[in-house]
Amino acid sequence: MAIAEIITVGDELLSGETVDTNASYLDGELERLGFEVRRHTTVPDEVELIAEVFRAASERADLILCSGGLGPTEDDLTMLALATAMGCVLTRHEPTIVAIRERFARFGREMTPNNERQAMVPERGEVLENKAGTAPAFRAELGRAVIYLLPGVPREVRYLVQKVIGPRIDRGAPVLYRRTVKVVGLGESRLEHEIQAVVDAYRDRVRFGYRALSIENHIKLAVRGEGAFELIEEVSSALRAKLGDAIFGTDADELLSVVHRRLVASGRTVTTAESCTGGLVAKMLTELPGASSFFVGGVVAYANRAKTTLLDVPSALIESEGAVSEAVARAMAEGARRRFAVDVALSATGIAGPDGGSEEKPVGTVFIALADDKETVCVRLQLPGDRSTIRSNTALALLDLLRRRLG
Amino acid sequence: MAIAEIITVGDELLSGETVDTNASYLDGELERLGFEVRRHTTVPDEVELIAEVFRAASERADLILCSGGLGPTEDDLTMLALATAMGCVLTRHEPTIVAIRERFARFGREMTPNNERQAMVPERGEVLENKAGTAPAFRAELGRAVIYLLPGVPREVRYLVQKVIGPRIDRGAPVLYRRTVKVVGLGESRLEHEIQAVVDAYRDRVRFGYRALSIENHIKLAVRGEGAFELIEEVSSALRAKLGDAIFGTDADELLSVVHRRLVASGRTVTTAESCTGGLVAKMLTELPGASSFFVGGVVAYANRAKTTLLDVPSALIESEGAVSEAVARAMAEGARRRFAVDVALSATGIAGPDGGSEEKPVGTVFIALADDKETVCVRLQLPGDRSTIRSNTALALLDLLRRRLG
């Protein structure tokens, strides 16, 4: 498989000011085009350093995409660095000068002299027109690699890859199939344990990866070559046989969108009664358009008196069991279901911390409940992490409870 | 100045699935600690490749921070790669085994055997306790560099850098002073216009930058060398004279934390009545510890019948004015204030889209209101962007209304 490397250039990418989103975008596109990206390198705006990285990459890779440092200012040095790596000089590219001048005229502005810098390119190579901006892109050969220089502006990078560079480097049908199988409610090590037999059976032919995201875990499958699609289908079935409905989706599916879809399909209405999550569950349920078809409203009952006045939780119950208890979680869900006259009510009460924990109920103790026309179910969770992690995992666990209930 | 390099490890960072945010965080911290970051490198989960990058970096840098690949699964190979680069073997670190087992016990789960992988470390070097997760961090010497291995989970990276690694590598006083002045409620071009005179007066000595974040804008100041602190103070005062209370804080201040602080100081209690924000405002008000001192609870009144039954908004008013109207926003805030018997009530009703807009009230039309013992104020907003942007900017505008009211 053809090997690619990505190089991004710019002081701002090394100072903590800018997160490099171009690299990740280029990864995805290169994979689609049949390349394996083996390395990213980010360097400051320094000619010698950029040139050195170009030379090193050109010994390892078939394709190098480099973004950044093609603008009109003095710290835009990528063209010069490429010329240095190639052992040639910069030359003035007249059609680019004309194009830049025309572009300025179109927006009713005059071209400032520093814009001519953008037309200075290595004497060996090909200028590629950039209709999305003023700085042209450039293609050259260096070592075993073909190298493309792109500007740093994400919009221009996208334009150039999709319209100009992509069609030229496309390796034909993708040779790598991937699938992400998404699981909720199992810890990473527990998950790995459960599927060990599947991994062992397929490890010679399938690459397995894991990613842990709070209470959500992703199993990543990658297969190269002939019969890859069928093999991924086979492994997915084997995983499903082991994990059942702990699997909530694949690839672009999100827990929230899956729940949203099932809610719409079920025709059922829902409400929320939240204490420790403080409105987060309601916020998530209303995140996607069309939420009004199932979500009537909800209550954030943070203080005990809100639990009694808005959700009819008996204050004697709060006193005897504590606000963080199974009995109160159940009463909150049942109270909300009655008040809002809906099919399903969700509730959460817990200790998100950092204070408020006790030996019996340490920080991270959370009770979540679901009440519908058949019964009320309640789950006690003991969640690790800080306040924000506990809150978001509580919300995810509650969405998952709803997902399983909706079937 | 001491040279640092950052290495991030993981297939997911090269496949377009994950944007690498750790690198940019580490940049900022290293700059603060007196290092110049000269290179980022990202490589897949492959022992030989990681080891090669370690060796190369250790010839150029004084400090290497590497994140990723310390978990319990088979594709976590960074410890092995470091041992390879150092020419030593991995050894079992008993205290880590004990710590992991205890951590599992604390959450009532049993440690699966693969977790022992996380206790296998190079025989030369120092294990650093990671209180934010199960995988320990590690420090070793390699070539001219000191190298630290960190997990890939951003929360754990932050904990380790701030609490464990930062204090050990701090190079003393920073040579570059920065300050971010944070503004809310002014557009970027309006803001630039307001402060033009200040920028012109100081531009030779101070570097100015802007960053637009939804309805929040940041002015970034940077000064190098002698007298830098005093100069930044002077510029800050000049900005404050121009912008008044549109400035809500500096540097680490967040609008939410400023509001939280002022609420606690004021002793006033607050409630929320939300329609289009669907619980987001309540969720934000309860994000920081101690929210129970001012937040009693709130209502998410998504459907009209929730507005009438839970907030006593007259249904005739909804019919005549529309659910998205100044009159309904006011009635929601006043109803919530009475129901919860609190000092201040916040409300929001609007069209977050993508559907539901009309010529008179297009998508992005939002009414926010604040009711207290003196009066009820209401602001009509016309917000650009998609559903999620409209919702989050509505919440920020409401928090800002509260901030200015609290004084």
User: Which of A14, A291, A387 is nearest residue B40 as measured by Cβ atoms?
Assistant: A14
- Give the range among A6-15, A17-26, B245-254 with minimum mean pLDDT: A17-26
- What residue type is A252 in one-letter code? A
Chain B residues within an 8 Å CB radius of A19: 19-21, 24
Closest chain A residue by Cα to residue B28: A16
Test mutation, B175, B210, B300, chain A, max A CBs within 10 A: B300
Contacts of A125 (CB under 8 A, 6+ apart): A82, A86, A138, A139, A140, A141
Burial code (b: 16+ CB inside 10 Å, e: under 16) for B263-274 equals: beeeebbbbbbb
Residue A137 has pLDDT above 70, yes or no: yes
Residue B105 CB: number of other CB atoms within 10 A?
Answer: 11
Q: CB B16 to CB A38 under 8 A?
A: no
Q: Enter the tokens of residue B47.
A: 């022992």
The C-alpha of A142 sits at a distance from chain B's nearest C-alpha, in angstroms, of: 21
Chain A residues within an 8 Å CB radius of B391: 287
Q: What is the 3-state secondary structure (H, E, C) of A56-89?
A: HHHHHCCEEEEECCCCCCCCCCHHHHHHHHHCCC
What are the pLDDT digits (tens) for A314-343? 999 999 999 999 999 999 999 999 999 999
- What residue type is A312 in one-letter code? D
Higher pLDDT, B184 or A71: B184
Chain A residues within an 8 Å CB radius of B220: 17
Closest to A34 in 3D by CA, of A207, A222, A172: A172
Query: What are the C-alpha distances in Å from B7 to residues A3, A259, A352?
Result: 20, 38, 34
pLDDT band with cut points at 50, 70 and 90 for residue A175: low
Task: Give the position of tokens 């969700």.
Answer: A346
Q: CB B109 to CB A286 under 8 A?
A: no
In chain B, which residues fall in CATH 3.90.950.20? Answer: 255-406
Residue A302: phi and psi, rounded to 5, are -80, -50
Task: Give the position of tokens 């405002």.
Answer: B281
Q: CB B297 to CB A297 under 8 A?
A: no
Interface pTM, i.e. ipTM: 0.72
User: Which of A20, A28, A286 is nearest residue B20 as measured by Cβ atoms?
Assistant: A20
User: Which of B29, B292, B339 is nearest residue A302 as measured by Cβ atoms?
Assistant: B292
pLDDT at B368: 98
The C-alpha of A156 sits at a distance from chain B's nearest C-alpha, in angstroms, of: 18
Strand order across the beta sheet in which B247-250 lies: B207-213, B216-224, B176-184, B247-250
Closest chain A residue by Cα to residue B103: A384
Looking at A253-313, list the stretches that DSSP marks H as alpha helix, in order from N- to C-terminal side.
255-266, 280-285, 304-311
Q: CB A39 to CB B39 under 8 A?
A: no
Closest chain A residue by Cα to residue B288: A387
Contacts of B401 (CB under 8 A, 6+ apart): B346, B368, B370, B377, B379
In chain B, which residues fall in CATH 3.40.980.10? Answer: 2-169
Question: Rounded CA gap, A284 and A391, in Å?
Answer: 12
pLDDT at A115: 79
Name beta bridge partners: B380. Answer: B367
Please answer whether residues A139 and A126 qualify as being in contact, where contact means their C-beta atoms are separated by less than 8 angstroms.
yes
| pTM of this structure | 0.73
Dihedral of the alpha carbons of B197, B198, B204, B210, in degrees to the nearest 10: -110
Please report which helix (H) or strand (E) contains residue B103, including its range: helix B94-106
pLDDT at A381: 95
User: Which of B73, B306, B354 is nearest residue A210 as measured by Cβ atoms?
Assistant: B73
Residue B246 CB: number of other CB atoms within 10 A?
Answer: 19
The C-alpha of B388 sits at a distance from chain A's nearest C-alpha, in angstroms, of: 7
Please answer whether residues B335 and B342 qualify as being in contact, where contact means their C-beta atoms are separated by less than 8 angstroms.
no
Chain B residues within an 8 Å CB radius of A42: 23, 39-41
Residue A110 per-residue DSSP state: P
In chain B, which residues fall in CATH 3.30.70.600? Answer: 176-250
Residue A141 CB: number of other CB atoms within 10 A?
Answer: 13
Maximum Cα interatomic distance, chain B, rounded to a whole number of Å? 80
The C-alpha of A25 sits at a distance from chain B's nearest C-alpha, in angstroms, of: 6
Question: Rounded CA gap, A157 and A163, in Å?
Answer: 10
pLDDT at A174: 55
The CATH number fitting domain B2-169, selected from 3.30.70.20, 3.30.530.20, 1.10.20.10, 3.40.980.10: 3.40.980.10
Question: Rounded CA gap, B84 and B89, in Å?
Answer: 7
Chain A residues within an 8 Å CB radius of B107: 364, 382, 384
Closest to B360 in 3D by CA, of B380, B388, B389: B380
Q: CB B71 to CB A310 under 8 A?
A: no
Test mutation, A179, A221, A283, A292, chain B, max B CBs within 10 A: A283
pLDDT at B316: 97
Chain B residues within an 8 Å CB radius of A277: 283
- What residue type is A183 in one-letter code? V
Chain A residues within an 8 Å CB radius of B296: 302-303, 305-306
User: Which of A192, A298, A303 is nearest residue B114 as measured by Cβ atoms?
Assistant: A192
Chain A residues within an 8 Å CB radius of B41: 39-42
User: Which of B13, B278, B297 is nearest residue A303 as measured by Cβ atoms?
Assistant: B297
Test mutation, A21, A27, A223, chain B, max B CBs within 10 A: A27
Q: CB A382 to CB B107 under 8 A?
A: yes
Q: CB A13 to CB B24 under 8 A?
A: yes
Q: What percentage of chain A carries pLDDT values higher than 90? A: 74
The C-alpha of A210 sits at a distance from chain B's nearest C-alpha, in angstroms, of: 7
Q: CB B28 to CB A17 under 8 A?
A: yes
pLDDT band with cut points at 50, 70 and 90 for residue A173: low
Q: CB B16 to CB A24 under 8 A?
A: yes
Give the rounded distance of the alpha carbon of B310 from its chain centre: 33
Q: CB B20 to CB A19 under 8 A?
A: yes
Chain B residues within an 8 Å CB radius of A25: 16
Radius of gyration of chain A (CA): 28
Chain A residues within an 8 Å CB radius of B287: 278, 387-388, 391
Low-confidence ranges of chain B (pLDDT < 50): none
Please answer whether residues B212 and B219 qualify as being in contact, where contact means their C-beta atoms are separated by less than 8 angstroms.
no
pLDDT at B174: 54
A·B CB contacts under 8 A: 245
Test mutation, B17, B75, B309, B351, chain A, max A CBs within 10 A: B17
Question: Rounded CA gap, A69 and A77, in Å?
Answer: 6
Query: What are the C-alpha distances in Å from A120 to residues A84, A108, A136, A252, B373?
Result: 13, 24, 10, 43, 67
Please answer whether residues A237 and A312 qualify as being in contact, where contact means their C-beta atoms are separated by less than 8 angstroms.
no
Residue A227 CB: number of other CB atoms within 10 A?
Answer: 11
What are the pLDDT digits (tens) for B162-193? 999 998 987 765 567 789 999 998 877 678 88
Contacts of B213 (CB under 8 A, 6+ apart): none
Residue A233 has pLDDT above 80, yes or no: yes
User: Which of B27, B291, B297 is nearest residue A14 as measured by Cβ atoms?
Assistant: B27
Burial code (b: 16+ CB inside 10 Å, e: under 16) for B81-93 equals: bbbbbbeeebeeb
The C-alpha of B405 sits at a distance from chain A's nearest C-alpha, in angstroms, of: 23
Chain A residues within an 8 Å CB radius of B13: 24, 27, 40
- Count of residues making up chain A: 407
Q: CB B40 to CB A40 under 8 A?
A: yes
- Give the range among A215-224, A282-291, B181-190, B309-318 with minimum mean pLDDT: B181-190
pLDDT band with cut points at 50, 70 and 90 for residue A132: confident
pLDDT at A71: 83
Test mutation, A13, A17, A214, chain B, max B CBs within 10 A: A17
pLDDT band with cut points at 50, 70 and 90 for residue A172: low
The C-alpha of A233 sits at a distance from chain B's nearest C-alpha, in angstroms, of: 21
Closest chain A residue by Cα to residue B74: A209
The C-alpha of B197 sits at a distance from chain A's nearest C-alpha, in angstroms, of: 24
What are the pLDDT digits (tens) for B263-300? 999 999 999 999 999 999 999 999 999 999 999 999 99
Q: Which CATH homologous superfamily contains domain A255-406?
A: CinA-like (3.90.950.20)
Domain over B176-250 is classified CATH 3.40.50.300? no
pLDDT at B63: 97
Give the rounded distance of the alpha carbon of A70 from its chain centre: 28
Give A185-233 as a DSSP string: SS-HHHHHHHTHHHHHHHTTT-EEEEEEETTEEEEEEEEESTTHHHHHH
Q: CB A277 to CB B300 under 8 A?
A: no
Surface-to-core class of residue A362, CB atoms within 10 Å of its CB (0-12 exposed, 13-18 middle, 19+ buried): middle
User: Which of B37, B283, B354 is nearest residue A289 as measured by Cβ atoms?
Assistant: B354
Mean per-residue pLDDT of chain A: 92
What are the pLDDT digits (tens) for A347-385? 999 999 999 999 999 999 999 999 999 999 999 999 988
